[in-house]
């Protein structure tokens, strides 16, 4: 029997470090009810059952290891939940993280491996949104067609039309940065699982409706191919699903420690792609390379000056040393007090904006 014990007690936070903490996670088991999701080649195994089992395992493990975290499920039984309702559940619960669990499928039985997806343009810029992962997006988004009057509910979005995906080009998420951080932790954990590495493995940016409609860091996980014999063997086994849940718990624990501001995470985290937290330094004079600003969002993509995504704000790019994320910051003030006094106005356009201290090659979030 395969045993996959989950990591324990890796990250402990002091009282001060708990001031900014991950309080609520929503776990979304993909598909359900009359929507089976992917189906194995022998037609005996349905994605909806695998995702529900893994989601509930992960939720229980989070409750046990992190009793301070509220775990919310989009479904706990074999019922159909619309994509809109899944996002609404997360938004109404003011979730700090949204995890959507799926299995992949393909007409090619050789396709295998796990992948992690965040909202964005196609991961294949050379082929734009019309190829690469577009088929995966169309399959996951196609559950929209199971709903009555879906054209009105989803604002005319047609999951079978490549042109519909163009609307995602114009979207910039203020939660992209933290979505990438969690995705990196998941990817690192899954690369040490029994799922073999393939061209499908890794982190991808793709236009999933359920990720777009959630107002918090969000990822969609494709836990192996239900249409691949080797992947299916893992997914069908008790030990395999337990391994996946443990890997996801480890990724969640690492991300939570990072999110909560734990300094311990520096030893285990990927290259720094987001900001630690520090208390405000009121009335502090800034050196020529040190100032306070307001970060509106972070993206890997570099947007030109004056882009409509900035909603009329004068912004500049800050890239922390070792990071792949372009932080879009507005304002340069010589004290945190001045930046904070402008925060409310900026949040009328970007509700999740926050104050940062920029100093040389570091970017520090200010409480």
Asked if 124 and 133 count as a contact pair (C-beta separation under 8 A), the reply is yes
Determine what percent of the chain is predicted with pLDDT higher than 90: 41
DSSP 8-class letter at 148: T
Q: How far apart are the first and last CA of the chain?
A: 48
**What are 263-270's contacts with CB under 8 Å, separation 24+?**
263/17, 264/10, 264/11, 264/12, 265/11, 268/10, 269/181, 269/185, 270/181, 270/184, 270/185, 270/188
Residue 332 has pLDDT above 90, yes or no: yes
d(CA 57, CA 28): 12
Determine what percent of the chain is predicted with pLDDT higher than 70: 66
Tokens representing 330?
């507005």
**Judgement on whether residues 254 and 289 belong to the same structural domain of the protein:** no
**Judgement on whether residues 51 and 110 belong to the same structural domain of the protein:** yes
Q: What is the pLDDT of residue 141?
A: 52
Domain stops at, among 240, 263, 286: 263
Residue 319 in any domain: the answer is: yes
Residue 326 in any domain: the answer is: yes
**Judgement on whether residues 352 and 312 belong to the same structural domain of the protein:** yes
- Beta partners for residue 293, in sequence order: 356
Q: Which residues contact 177 (CB under 8 A, 6 or more apart)?
A: 273, 274, 297, 298, 299, 325, 327
Residue 157 has pLDDT above 80, yes or no: no
Domain with 324 in it: 277-366
Name the strand (E) or helix (H) holding 109: none
**Judgement on whether residues 254 and 130 belong to the same structural domain of the protein:** yes
In DSSP notation, 168-212 reads GGG---TTHHHHHHHHHHHHHHHTTSSSPP-TT-EEEEE--HHHH
Confidence of residue 147 (pLDDT cuts 50, 70, 90): low
**Judgement on whether residues 298 and 246 belong to the same structural domain of the protein:** no
Span 28-44, average pLDDT: 95
Q: What is the pLDDT of residue 17?
A: 38
Confidence of residue 2 (pLDDT cuts 50, 70, 90): very low
d(CA 67, CA 71): 9
**Judgement on whether residues 207 and 343 belong to the same structural domain of the protein:** no
The angle formed by the CA atoms of residues 297, 72 and 353, to the nearest 5 degrees, is 15
d(CA 353, CA 223): 32
**Judgement on whether residues 258 and 316 belong to the same structural domain of the protein:** no
The angle formed by the CA atoms of residues 203, 29 and 137, to the nearest 5 degrees, is 45
Residue 306 to residues 261, 333, 364, Cα–Cα distance (Å): 33, 21, 25
**Judgement on whether residues 249 and 319 belong to the same structural domain of the protein:** no
Span 84-111, average pLDDT: 90
Residue 161 has pLDDT above 60, yes or no: no
Q: What is the pLDDT of residue 247?
A: 96
Q: Worst-scoring range by mean pLDDT, 123-127, 205-209, 218-222? A: 123-127
**Judgement on whether residues 249 and 354 belong to the same structural domain of the protein:** no
**What's 349's domain CATH number?**
3.30.70
**pTM of the prediction?**
0.63
Residue 148 to residues 89, 144, 151, 326, Cα–Cα distance (Å): 20, 9, 8, 41
Task: Choose among 319, 348, 314, 318: nearest CA to 331.
Answer: 314
Q: What is the pLDDT of residue 274?
A: 41
Mean pLDDT of the chain: 76
Question: Chain centroid to CA 236: how far?
Answer: 26
Residue 131 has pLDDT above 60, yes or no: no
Neighbours of 16 (CB within 10 A): 9
d(CA 264, CA 303): 33
pLDDT in tens, 288-297: 589 999 988 7
**Judgement on whether residues 36 and 167 belong to the same structural domain of the protein:** yes
Span 174-203, average pLDDT: 83
Domain stops at, among 201, 232, 263: 263
Question: Chain centroid to CA 183: how far?
Answer: 6
Burial of 93 (0-12, 13-18, 19+ CB in 10 A): middle
Task: Choose among 100, 77, 78: nearest CA to 87.
Answer: 100
**What's 22's domain CATH number?**
3.40.630.40
Residue 347 in any domain: the answer is: yes
- Beta partners for residue 219, in sequence order: 99
Domain stops at, among 222, 237, 263: 263
Q: Worst-scoring range by mean pLDDT, 56-60, 65-69, 92-96, 127-131? A: 127-131
DSSP 8-class letter at 17: G
3-state secondary structure 242-270: HHHHHHHHHHHHHHHHHHHCCHHHHHCCC
**Judgement on whether residues 239 and 321 belong to the same structural domain of the protein:** no
pLDDT in tens, 235-278: 999 999 999 999 999 999 999 988 886 333 333 334 343 444 44
Tokens representing 218?
């969000």
Span 210-231, average pLDDT: 83
Altogether, the residues listed in the chain come to a count of 367
Residue 11 in any domain: the answer is: no
Residue 302 has pLDDT above 90, yes or no: no
Residue 244 in any domain: the answer is: yes
**Judgement on whether residues 27 and 84 belong to the same structural domain of the protein:** yes
Higher-pLDDT residue of 63 and 192 is 63
At 344 the three-state DSSP class reads helix
Domains in the chain, number: 2
Q: What is the pLDDT of residue 18?
A: 41
Residue 271 in any domain: the answer is: no
Residue 272 in any domain: the answer is: no
Q: What is the pLDDT of residue 128?
A: 33
Residue 101 has pLDDT above 90, yes or no: yes
Residue 360 in any domain: the answer is: yes
DSSP 8-class letter at 70: E
């Amino acid at each position: 029997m395969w045993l996959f014990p989950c990591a324990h007690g890796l990250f402990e936070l002091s009282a001060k470090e708990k001031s900014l903490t991950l309080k609520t996670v929503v776990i979304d088991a993909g598909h359900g009810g009359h929507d089976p999701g992917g189906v194995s080649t022998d037609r005996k195994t349905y994605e909806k059952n695998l995702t529900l089992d893994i989601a509930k395992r992960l939720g229980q493990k989070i409750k046990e290891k992190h009793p301070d975290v509220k775990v919310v499920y989009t479904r706990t039984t074999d019922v159909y939940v619309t994509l809109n309702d899944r996002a609404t559940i997360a938004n109404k619960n003011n979730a700090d993280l949204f995890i959507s669990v799926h299995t992949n499928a393909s007409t090619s039985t050789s396709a295998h491996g796990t992948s992690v997806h965040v909202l964005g343009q196609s991961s294949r810029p050379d082929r734009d949104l019309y190829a690469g992962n577009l088929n995966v997006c169309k399959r996951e988004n196609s559950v929209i067609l199971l709903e009555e009057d879906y054209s009105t509910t989803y604002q005319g979005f047609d999951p079978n039309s490549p042109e519909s995906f163009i609307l995602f080009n114009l979207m910039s998420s203020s939660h992209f940065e933290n979505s990438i951080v969690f995705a990196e932790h998941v990817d690192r954990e899954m690369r040490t699982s029994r799922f073999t590495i393939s061209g499908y493995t890794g982190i991808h940016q793709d236009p999933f409706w359920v990720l777009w409609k959630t107002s918090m860091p969000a990822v969609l996980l494709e836990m192996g191919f239900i249409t691949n014999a080797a992947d299916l063997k893992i997914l069908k086994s008790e030990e395999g699903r337990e391994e996946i849940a443990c890997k996801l718990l480890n990724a969640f624990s690492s991300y939570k420690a990072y999110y909560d501001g734990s300094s311990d995470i520096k030893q285990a985290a990927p290259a720094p792609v987001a900001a630690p937290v520090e208390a405000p330094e009121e009335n502090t004079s800034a050196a020529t390379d040190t100032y306070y600003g307001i970060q509106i969002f972070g993206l890997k993509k570099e947007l030109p000056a004056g882009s409509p995504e900035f909603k009329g704000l004068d912004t500049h790019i800050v890239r922390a040393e070792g990071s792949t994320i372009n932080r879009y910051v507005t304002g340069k003030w010589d004290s945190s007090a001045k930046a904070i006094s402008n925060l409310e106005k900026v949040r009328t356009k970007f509700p999740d904006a926050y104050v940062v201290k920029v100093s040389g090659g570091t970017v520090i979030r200010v409480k």
